[in-house]
Copies of this chain bind each other. A is one copy, B any other.
């Protein structure tokens, strides 16, 4: 996500403080790496970009950042979990997941789809009592490189 909020670092320190956590170099480094990536990253990818970080601290800090509402963890059928900045920092988006190589790319929301989704959420609430907070739309197929 390149289009990050102008006040990303403000949000970071504010939400960490609200969560009773300190703002440390490791934690801003993680937010930076995730903020510059155009897709959710695995921990090996993060470590490749920032070899100075200790693996255990990355795991620990991603938990902290997730609890602070700054980072979102997503699990695919791949072996590693992936992390991205929270949607309210990067904008709502969906994922293209390659069934062959496992890569994940972000795409912006498609207006007609989002509109249909709003109607669907209302229907579901009426029919099942389920109260939707957010939704996830993934397209699964072959990326340009694999097809």
> Interface residues, chain A, CB within 8 Å of chain B?
73-77, 96, 98-99, 105, 107, 110, 112-113, 115-117, 119-121, 123-124, 128-144, 147
Contact = CB atoms under 8 A, between A and B. Distances in A.
Contacts of A120: 110, 112-113
Contact of A123 (B74, B110, B142): B110
Contacts of A110: 116, 119-120, 123-124
Q: Please tell me how many copies of the chain the complex holds.
A: 2
A129 B103 CA distance: 14
Residue in A74, A96, A133, A139 whose Cβ sees the most chain B Cβ within 10 Å = A139
A29 B88 CA distance: 45
A133 to B, nearest CB: 4
Given A77-B75, A110-B120, A116-B112, A134 B130 contact: no
B124 A139 contact: yes
